[in-house]
Amino acid sequence: MNELGDKFLSFLSANRNRRMAIVSHMNADVDALSSIYALHSVFPNSEMAIEDRMDVPGKMFADRIGISPRKLSSLKKEDYDGLIVVDTSAPQLVKSAEGWPILLIIDHHRENDHMLKAGLVLRNSSAAATAEMIAEILPEIKPEVAFALACGIVSDSARFKGGHLSTFKMLVSLMEKCGKDYPEILQYGEPEPTSELKELVLKSVKKMRITRHGNYLIATVKVREHESYVASALSEFADAVFVARWKRADGETKISARARKSVPVPINEVMMQLGNEFHGAGGGHAKAAGSSAKAKPEIVLKRCVEILSGRL
């Protein structure tokens, strides 16, 4: 057990039977949901929650393992002792956490100056997924939990486009505990898209704009929904992808960005700069990130290309 594990065991010993809500970021993905599910297994009085919605693979995963997290905004703070936040430290991604006492944060994203505060923060930015972190620190892992965490690792590592030797070792350990082979884990970690989703991606190809910078192809497109899924799909071919969705009610554009391993610029840094320039927020991983921006999609997408091109 490492230092993070020791800190978690101390926290678990003191808080195991407390009434807590466990929540993650907006548009919860498979990594976030598997992490919530795993922590719920060792905090029996906890409530699984989400900020607003689940992304498409996340919803498919939740349906398959049989969980229905409640929206955090629907919970009464006075009924709980506090909050556990996983897979994010950004206040913009867990807006409903405002006013809650945050007891614990477990996150594998890089630290910055604008982060949630908590009684205990466990962070490992070298982990491929928050699920990998949780698999390392849990004192007991049931077969169904091992399966969920394996799915989270496969999903957030994008089928091991990111990860280290320790990530592969952890997956093997979880596979042994749950007795499942990789193809079945892949079915849950990266569910087969519906025909509607396939159609959405194919239609977005017709509308996208391609900018060439040297040997790099940068794709941009505006969609009405599922920007994260479209970005992931298009990144199988484009070197970098920026997909925008306009949120009229909030007067802001949401950007989902992806980059292939050939791109030397960390895409999360591009998203952080974008968020700062447009009074929003941005971050994520070197190859998968997102941002919010207080401007129309056309303006924001143009600036995404400019920032990335300027750093290539």
Domain ranges of the chain: 3-189, 195-311
Which is nearest to 192 in space by CA: 68, 60, 7?
A: 60
Cα–Cα dist 248/164, whole Å: 40
Instruction: Give 206-240 pLDDT, tens digit per residue.
Output: 999 999 999 999 999 999 988 988 998 999 899 99
219 DSSP assignment: E
pLDDT confidence of residue 163: 67
Instruction: Give 10-24 pLDDT, tens digit per residue.
Output: 999 999 999 999 999
pLDDT confidence of residue 135: 97
Residue showing tokens 């049931």 = 142
**Ranges of residues in the chain whose predicted pLDDT is under 50:** none
pLDDT confidence of residue 197: 87
pLDDT confidence of residue 164: 80
pLDDT confidence of residue 284: 82
Instruction: Give 117-157 pLDDT, tens digit per residue.
Output: 999 999 998 898 999 999 999 999 999 999 999 999 999 88
**Helices in the chain by DSSP H: which ranges?**
3-15, 30-40, 56-65, 130-137, 143-156, 165-178, 182-189, 195-207, 227-234, 267-277, 297-311
Q: What percent of the chain has pLDDT over 90?
A: 76
The one-letter code for the residue type at 110 is R
Helix 130-137 × helix 143-156 angle, to 10°? 150
Residue 244, strand partner residues: 222, 255
Which is nearest to 89 in space by CA: 58, 112, 55?
A: 112
What are the residues whose beta carbons fall under 8 Å from the beta carbon of 246, sequence distance 6 or more?
Answer: 222, 253, 296, 297
Q: What tokens does 17 get?
A: 């039977």
Fold of 3-189: inorganic pyrophosphatase (n-terminal core) (3.90.1640)
| Distance from the Cα of residue 191 to its chain's centroid | 16
What are the residues whose beta carbons fall under 8 Å from the beta carbon of 163, sequence distance 6 or more?
Answer: 128, 153, 157
DSSP reduced 3-state for 206: helix
pLDDT confidence of residue 8: 96
Q: What tokens does 94 get?
A: 């867990």
pLDDT confidence of residue 275: 92
Question: In the CATH scheme, what is the code of domain 195-311?
Answer: 3.10.310.40
pLDDT confidence of residue 125: 86
